[in-house]
Amino acid sequence: MTEEAVPVVEPNAVEEPLDLVRLSLDERIYVKLRGDRELRGKLHAYDGHLNMILGDVEETITVVEINEETEEEVIRTIKNTAEMLFVRGDGVILVSPPSRTGA
């Protein structure tokens, strides 16, 4: 048996962007989606497409409506919650993990 050349990588190092997501497993994250949708929830699983399983989720949808009488823009937010949900990766714009201390 030969020794396996296991690269000595600091487990907390961010060497590629997806490491940022990997380090957020089991943490609450913020996800910005297309269509002015935002999610906050606990990251249970993800893959390279950024498909994700989130738990204990709060969804915020921002809608801009035009008041027909005053023609003013009215910004309205709709909130939904879900115990568990699957996010399809192609809608993801940004993922932000909880602030980590120490580098």
Partner 1 sequence: MQQPPIQQQQQQTSSPTEFLNNVIGRPVLVKLNSGVDYRGILSCLDGYMNIALEQTEEYVNGQLKNRYGDAFIRGNNVLYISATKLRE
Span near partner 1 by CB under 8 A; candidates 1-9, 17-25, 51-59, 60-68: 17-25
Amino acid identity, position 19? D
What is the distance between the alpha carbons of residues 91 and 27, in angstroms, rounded to a whole number? 21
Name the minimum Å distance from CB 43 to partner 1: 11
Name the minimum Å distance from CB 66 to partner 1: 18
Name the minimum Å distance from CB 94 to partner 1: 5
Is 53 a binding residue for partner 1 by CB under 8 A? The answer is no
Q: Please name the helix (run of DSSP H) or strand (run of DSSP E) that holds residue 66, with its range, or none.
A: strand 52-66
Is 90 a binding residue for partner 1 by CB under 8 A? The answer is yes
Is 19 a binding residue for partner 1 by CB under 8 A? The answer is yes
Quote the DSSP letter at residue 27. S
Q: What burial class does residue 86 get, using C-beta atoms within 10 Å of its C-beta: 0-12 exposed, 13-18 middle, 19+ buried?
A: exposed
Is 95 a binding residue for partner 1 by CB under 8 A? The answer is yes
